[in-house]
Amino acid sequence: MPESPRDEIRRLRREVERHEDLYRRKHAPEISDYEFDQIRDRLQELEAAHPDLAGPDLGIGDDRSEGFEQRDHAEPMLSLDNTYRREQFTAFVERLAGKLPAQGLHFVVEPKVDGVAISLTYEKGVLTHAVTRGNGFRGDDVTANIALIPEIPRRIKGAPDLLEIRGEVYMRMEEFARLNAEREAAGEPLYANPRNLAAGTVKLLDREEAARRRLSVVCYGLGACRPSAFRTLSDFNQRLKAWGFPTSDLFTVADGEDGAWKAIERLDAARRTLPYPTDGAVVKLDRIDLQAVAGATSKFPHWAVAFKFPPDQAETLLRAISMQVGRTGVITPVAELEPVLLAGSTVSRATLHNADEIARKDIREGDTVRIQKAGEIIPQVLGVVLDKRPSDAQPFDFESRLRELGLDATRDAEEAAYKLRAPSREMRIRRLMHFASKHCLDIEGLGEAVAEQLVDLGLVDAPTDVLSLEPQHWALLDKFKEKSVDNMMAGLEAAKSRELWRAIHALGIPNVGMQTAKDLARHFRSLDALAHAKLDNYIVQRVGKKGQELKSFDTVISGIGKEVANSLLSYFSDPNHRDWLKAMRKAGLNLEEAATTGSAVQAVAGKTFVLTGTLPTLSRDQARDLVEKAGGKVSGSVSKKTDYVVAGEEAGSKLDKAQELGVAVIDEAGLRKLLGE
Ligand code: IVH
């Protein structure tokens, strides 16, 4: 039976809301912007045809999330309408001309940088807040993370009393590649694309991790400006540059529809060579007084539009759907493709996200699929080319495939992903490798080959089993002579006296990375205390002036919000995991935070250090360990609170910043002196 308009509207509204949430809050979209626009356009068309069935306005989405103060924008932050074809762009110009007194139209054209929108408020020339777009009227105050971007001026001369500067926070391709190379080396899953990573970083509560991921910004827009000070966007752009804000170096002025179109074409030709992600061009009316005349809808200005470049796409054969099992047991279906060239690289796999996604798109093995790469490294499967479907193609039955593969998995009602009920061989291997890895217990000699054998020989199920292995067990491993057995035993012995945070990180608790493990160790001081913590050890409800409970809450440990807290609670409530703790205790692993005093060094204790550049003999991690053991703190960014910047070879902007702020700069020898070596 065909879907009634009422049902279709209801379904489309749910889809729009779901995809907005995936994009704006979870930073993990499942469909392309183009597909999203198509759903939204279809909904708009239906609601226009059936006004009686239309629901309330869905707005422009909302990025606000837990753990942030919220702040009103002095002027709303609107979104842009998207165009994909020249006719649509021409229609925009004609509509605009119709709203203005007859005259030539002057536009500015610049790349649409793919990041997250930010509004920077300057009061009497001083940066007071950085706020996300939120719902357009009210956003999250993310000043702490935005202040980590060195190129944003803190003070500007000759500014109007109130000035809101709008821009895009993004991540450069090079930085994205650097972070992913680190993840790959650590055996962690890769980030999908620079846009999602930038959006996630802006909202990161872990300051140190945020500082480690370098963000950039480009400024392009004017919010509130009191008293008014600019006649055109080109004037404003000049002033931004004079104040030292990063602006687009591809900013151009263009006359009329024709001029703007030529500028769009030039940007399209240049986009693949740019050092930042772009997904289109933005065309805006230059004159600010005429912008006011043109006006806006509740979502988009009438005086500006985005032209989205078509993403690189290809068609290829879906040979099979395979199942990838993560360290925590989450199962992700993967499209195994006939290799095809796409955006400069050969693609042979693509993620299919989850079972619902496969069902929604009715993707079948043997189908020809359209795939797309738009900034991300992992391509998306857009959909099936139905004309090319083999007549014998069968709908994909997720659960029976899991059974065929011997994967015993289920999913909770609200979860999209299936998860293994009991760990598989791969999971056991990966859990053990994580447990032993450099940023965990650092068990020398325990790499992939050894982990595989330990699991296959049935010597290790839970990773903690490795702690109780005796020489005769190790001797069962391939090529393990007496010497290697001795080395392994020595490696295990050394692992027993490592810092508490390593034991916490080694447990592989979802959402608990190295930095969070360190924060937890410092706060709880023993694994026992951590394992017995309750929700109110992490977050406390805020109470209003009249003693009433508010919806918001305060975090007890900076950087650890509800999501991480819940993940910890659910982890430690699992009886299997409690057995792991028992095994660690029994093996004599250090599960307490060492009192800082023993080794605290007067000159270092309580001081904040920033490490930059390459030091002659110490790695970053080693230098950090030395400082932390001596009671000092290592931070990722230079501020007035920094006591020392330890600079090595090729130190970059942090060194400049230190000099600018008058922070003491020392080298490795200087650090060693402070440590009393
Ligand atoms: S102008 C009134 N210029 O694209 C709207 N936006 O899809 C003014 N964006 O919300 C926006 N580069 O976050 C403008 N050069 C640029 C841009 C740009 C990226 C973002 C911005 C906006 C979104 C709309």
Q: CATH 3.30.470.30 residue ranges in the chain? A: 70-308
pLDDT in tens, 539-587: 877 666 676 666 666 677 766 878 889 989 999 999 999 999 999 999 9
Q: Is 541 helix (H, G, I), strand (E, B) or coil?
A: strand
| Ligand 1 contact, 560 CB (< 6 A) | no
> At residue 306, what are phi and psi to the nearest 5 degrees?
-100, 140
- Cα gap 538→529, rounded to integer Å: 12
Percent of the chain with pLDDT over 70: 95
- Cα gap 366→336, rounded to integer Å: 10
Q: CATH 1.10.287.610 residue ranges in the chain? A: 5-53
Q: How confident is the model at residue 191 (pLDDT cuts 50, 70, 90)?
A: confident
Does residue 227 have a cis bond before it (omega within 30 degrees)? yes
Q: Whose CA is nearest to atom 2 of ligand 1?
A: 78
Atom of ligand 1 nearest to the CA of 296: 2
Q: CATH 3.40.50.10190 residue ranges in the chain? A: 599-675
Name the more confident of 56 and 578.
Answer: 578
Using the 8-state DSSP alphabet, how is residue 232 labeled? B
Q: Which of 431, 490, 489, 496 is nearest to 460 (CA)?
A: 431
What's the CATH number for 425-495? 1.10.150.20
- CA distances for 552 relative to 61, 70, 139, 272, 503, angstroms: 21, 11, 15, 43, 32
Pick the CATH number of 599-675 from 3.40.50.10190, 3.40.50.80, 3.60.15.10, 3.40.190.80: 3.40.50.10190
Q: How confident is the model at residue 624 (pLDDT cuts 50, 70, 90)?
A: confident
Angle at 430 between CA 429 and CA 433, to 5 degrees: 90
Q: Is 622 helix (H, G, I), strand (E, B) or coil?
A: helix
Residue with token string 């020339």: 125
pLDDT at residue number 275: 87
Strands (E), 330-447: 330-342, 345-351, 368-373, 380-384, 409-410, 418-420
> What average pLDDT does this structure show over 259-276?
92
pLDDT in tens, 32-44: 788 888 899 999 9
Q: How confident is the model at residue 277 (pLDDT cuts 50, 70, 90)?
A: confident
- Cα gap 46→3, rounded to integer Å: 12
pLDDT in tens, 322-380: 998 887 888 999 999 999 888 767 889 998 989 999 999 999 999 999 998 866 667 88
Q: Is 336 helix (H, G, I), strand (E, B) or coil?
A: strand
Atom of ligand 1 nearest to the CA of 112: 12
> What average pLDDT does this structure show over 607-621?
86
pLDDT at residue number 467: 97
| Ligand 1 contact, 117 CB (< 6 A) | yes
- CA distances for 352 relative to 43, 186, 376, 529, angstroms: 25, 24, 14, 40
Q: How confident is the model at residue 597 (pLDDT cuts 50, 70, 90)?
A: very low
* Residue 39: burial class (beta carbons within 10 Å; 0-12, 13-18, 19+): middle
Helical spans, DSSP H, in 271-397: 288-294, 355-361
Architecture of domain 70-308: 2-Layer Sandwich (3.30)
Question: 3-state DSSP helix/strand/coil percent for the chain, to nearest 5?
Answer: 40, 25, 40
Which pTM does this prediction carry? 0.63
What's the CATH number for 500-587? 1.10.150.20
| Ligand 1 contact, 164 CB (< 6 A) | no
| Ligand 1 contact, 325 CB (< 6 A) | no
- Cα gap 428→325, rounded to integer Å: 11
How close is the Cα of 211 to the center of ligand 1, in Å? Answer: 25
Q: How confident is the model at residue 497 (pLDDT cuts 50, 70, 90)?
A: very high
Q: How confident is the model at residue 589 (pLDDT cuts 50, 70, 90)?
A: very high
What's the CATH number for 5-53? 1.10.287.610
How close is the Cα of 264 to the center of ligand 1, in Å? Answer: 15
Q: Whose CA is nearest to atom 15 of ligand 1?
A: 112
pLDDT at residue number 409: 93
Asked if pLDDT for residue 186 goes beyond 50, the answer is yes
Class of CATH domain 321-339+347-412: mainly beta
Helical spans, DSSP H, in 31-172: 33-49, 86-99, 143-146
Q: CATH 2.40.50.140 residue ranges in the chain? A: 321-339+347-412
How close is the Cα of 80 to the center of ligand 1, in Å? Answer: 6
Asked if pLDDT for residue 14 goes beyond 80, the answer is yes
How close is the Cα of 282 to the center of ligand 1, in Å? Answer: 7
